[in-house]
Amino acid sequence: MNENLNPVAVLDAPKASAQRITSPPANSGQQQDEFWPWLRRGAPTALVLAFLAALAYWGHHSEWTIPKFSELFGGRQDAKTDWCEEHSVPESICVECNESLLPRGKSTWCRTHGVHDCPFEDPDVAQLKTVEKVTAEDLERAKRALDLKDRPENNPKCKKHHRRIQFASQEVMDKMGIDIVPVWQGPVVETVAASGEITFEQPRVAPISSPVFGRAWHVTDKGQIGAEVKRGDLLALLDAADVGKAKSEFLQALAQLDLKNKAVDNLRSLVPSGAVPQVKLLEAEAAQREAQIRLLGAQQALANLGLSVQIDQVKDLPPEKMAKHLQFLGIPEDLAKRLDAKTSSTNLFPVLAPRDGIVTSAKVVAGEVVDPSKTLFVVADTSRMWVMLNVRNEDVEYLRIRDAKIGTPGQTVRFRPDGRFQEITGELVWKSTTVDEKTRTVQFRAELPNPDGKLLANTFGVGQIVLREEKKAVVVPNEAVHWEGDCTIVFVRDKNFMEQGAPKVFHVRTVRPGVKNGPNTEIIAGLLPGEVIATRNSANLRAEMLKNNLGAG
């Protein structure tokens, strides 16, 4: 053994080794002392983050609506807490928040009529206790209206029809001043308006002038303005030298022909015996033909003046009777008998009425000098008149005139002259082929009956050309219809509105409006007769709908 080995040191060595193995690290207590303060400092932040995460999860699944205090703790709701701010009714009865109170039907789009939830396609959508069957006449009426011209269209993507406006009670609705009225059926007329002027019907008006220069010798009672005349009535007598000259030429030509005829007859009896050469007979016959031509020319000259004379009737008359016959040629027999042949002029020319009618203009008096350029009288048949209408170019495509070839009548025209309240009904018969350069309108003509003569030529007025006339159209007041930018709507009262305890609801319904007639609007599609709609102050419902839309947005 090593003598230098210390036994004490040897014995103490295992203890020291054991001490090194079992003793904790010197910094263990220091780490524990640092962990607990860190945990105390970080805990609030962790709790806040966890709370925010839970709040976000809950808000996402509850659509960020804050429940009532009573709902959270099961307490009783009172009038102050039971209120839906979004829809302005008690929340316990709000049909928008709780659709089980008034379930919605399935919404559909009607391509044919251009409305949502079309009652024509599905009558059950109508807010009626009992719905009558939609007839073929109803569908045909709607088709006529839609086929005639373009109508305001609804956007298929419009969502307004999903909305329902609810009142807390009937009293609330009454305080808002909202009136209601049932949808009814009534007559509507769709027209095109056009300014117009009444004129004489051209084939029925006759301006009268003298074919020769002369002087008014006498104006009869029939030649006064407003006198009713028949064809051939004497209006006036003119003293015209050209007339006397034409009569004189006729008498001379007649006398010459008589002389030539006698000469030819004498020569014909002498030629066979050779007493007269054949050439003399030929010369006499040539002169006879010239006299005949001259007489025919004189006869035609009188005929051109309107004085008809028959050669066979006068050639055998004595000279005095022949002269008297020509002196009063064309003058009615009853007047001719009253005239003195000795003092009366042979230049008299009768001015006669060319047709039945009324003297609408008389611009001549006895002693006045006249000439062919001056209109003496105007005789018109006023039993029918024309009205010339000026139609806007964009409306021409809707108009139809009379077609005599296939027998179709023209459209009806209702014309109201200025200063009159009664309309006159006529028929559209003619359309111009040009557009007026200044007014850019197209002229149409209609025939108007005027049996009592009350219509006056050159009268202005307004005409209504009837495009479509319905006797049983669906009609509502104008104030019930609202345009919402992409669709036209009305507010329809729920069919159970008046029942005890039923929700007081108005449904938003898209409609297809037609023509407006005064205070009413035709509804082509979207409503059925008998449904109750909001009218006066229905704009309040519209404002409520827009407010809800803003709230939802």
In a domain, 319, yes or no: yes
In a domain, 360, yes or no: yes
The helix or strand, by DSSP H or E, that contains position 276, with its residue range, turns out to be none
Q: What is the pTM of this model?
A: 0.68
In percent, the amount of the chain with pLDDT more than 90 equals 49
Write the CB contacts of 221 (distance below 8 Å, at least 6 apart in sequence). 227
What's the pLDDT score for residue 35?
61
Q: Per-residue pLDDT tens for 427-441?
A: 999 999 999 999 999
Q: Collapse the DSSP code of 212 into the 3-class scheme (helix H, G, I; strand E, B; otherwise coil) and give the result.
A: coil
- Residue 435: which CATH number? 2.40.30.170
Going by their DSSP bridges, the two strands 184-200 and 460-477 should be labelled as antiparallel
**Residues 134, 135, 137: CA angle, nearest 5 degrees:** 130
Residue with tokens 């983050």: 49
Question: Both tokens of residue 241?
Answer: 């030298």
Alpha helices in 27-157 (DSSP H): 28-61, 69-73, 136-148
Q: Would you say the C-alpha torsion 166, 172, 176, 180 has a positive or negative sign?
A: positive
Q: Collapse the DSSP code of 303 into the 3-class scheme (helix H, G, I; strand E, B; otherwise coil) and give the result.
A: helix
The last residue of a domain, from among 468, 490, 514:
468
At residue 307, does pLDDT exceed 80? yes
The last residue of a domain, from among 468, 502, 536:
468
Separation of alpha carbons 202 and 181, rounded Å:
52
Write the CB contacts of 61 (distance below 8 Å, at least 6 apart in sequence). none
Residue range 136-163: mean pLDDT, rounded: 93
211 with 371: CB under 8 angstroms?
no
Alpha-carbon distances, residue 268 vs 131, 259, 421 (angstroms) = 108, 14, 83
What does 138-172 look like in DSSP terms, one character per residue?
A: HHHHHHHHHHHS--PPPPTT--GGG-EEEES-HHH
Residue 39: domain span: 30-65
At residue 9, does pLDDT exceed 70? no
Question: Both tokens of residue 472?
Answer: 């049983």
- Residue 245: which CATH number? 2.40.50.100
What's the pLDDT score for residue 21?
39
**Range list of β-strands (E), 292-346:** none
Q: Per-residue pLDDT tens for 246-289?
A: 988 988 898 898 899 888 888 888 878 877 788 888 888 899 99
Instruction: Give the pLDDT band (50/70/90) at residue 552.
Output: very low
Q: Per-residue pLDDT tens for 66-121?
A: 554 444 434 444 555 677 877 778 888 888 888 888 888 888 999 999 999 999 99
Asked whether residue 386 falls in the same domain as residue 306, the answer is: no
For the stretch 63-101, what's the b/e string if a residue is b when 16 or more beta carbons lie within 10 angstroms of its beta carbon? eeeeeeeeeeeeeeeeeeebbbeebbbebebbbbeeeee
Separation of alpha carbons 491 and 481, rounded Å:
8
Separation of alpha carbons 293 and 166, rounded Å:
104
What's the pLDDT score for residue 111?
94
546 with 159: CB under 8 angstroms?
no
Question: Both tokens of residue 484?
Answer: 């919402």
Asked whether residue 352 falls in the same domain as residue 409, the answer is: no
Q: Average pLDDT of the chain?
A: 85
Asked whether residue 350 falls in the same domain as residue 209, the answer is: yes
Instruction: Give the pLDDT band (50/70/90) at residue 31.
Output: low
In a domain, 97, yes or no: no
Asked whether residue 184 falls in the same domain as residue 319, the answer is: no
Asked whether residue 375 falls in the same domain as residue 253, the answer is: yes
In a domain, 76, yes or no: no
Asked whether residue 250 falls in the same domain as residue 278, the answer is: yes
What's the pLDDT score for residue 10?
38
Asked whether residue 449 falls in the same domain as residue 509, the answer is: no
Alpha-carbon distances, residue 451 vs 382, 424, 460 (angstroms) = 8, 11, 19
In a domain, 262, yes or no: yes
- Residue 170: which CATH number? 2.40.420.20
Alpha-carbon distances, residue 363 vs 143, 319, 359, 542 (angstroms) = 58, 38, 11, 68
Asked whether residue 170 falls in the same domain as residue 211, the answer is: no
Write the CB contacts of 430 (distance below 8 Å, at least 6 apart in sequence). 401, 444, 445
In a domain, 13, yes or no: no
Question: Both tokens of residue 292?
Answer: 């005949």
What's the pLDDT score for residue 528?
95
Asked whether residue 256 falls in the same domain as residue 357, the answer is: yes
At residue 454, does pLDDT exceed 90? no
Spatial CA neighbour of 462 closest among 427, 414, 497: 414
Asked whether residue 336 falls in the same domain as residue 222, the answer is: yes
Residue 409 neighbours by CB distance under 10 Å? 13
The last residue of a domain, from among 330, 347, 380:
380
Domains of the chain: total: 4
In a domain, 235, yes or no: yes
At residue 30, does pLDDT exceed 90? no
Q: How many residues does the chain have?
A: 553
Asked whether residue 247 falls in the same domain as residue 227, the answer is: yes
Spatial CA neighbour of 113 closest among 74, 147, 90, 70: 147
Alpha-carbon distances, residue 419 vs 383, 484, 493 (angstroms) = 21, 40, 44
In a domain, 3, yes or no: no
Highest mean pLDDT among 155-159, 322-326, 345-349, 443-447: 443-447
Asked whether residue 239 falls in the same domain as residue 347, the answer is: yes
For the stretch 220-244, what's the b/e string if a residue is b when 16 or more beta carbons lie within 10 angstroms of its beta carbon? bebbeeebebeeebbbbbbbbeebb
At residue 2, does pLDDT exceed 70? no
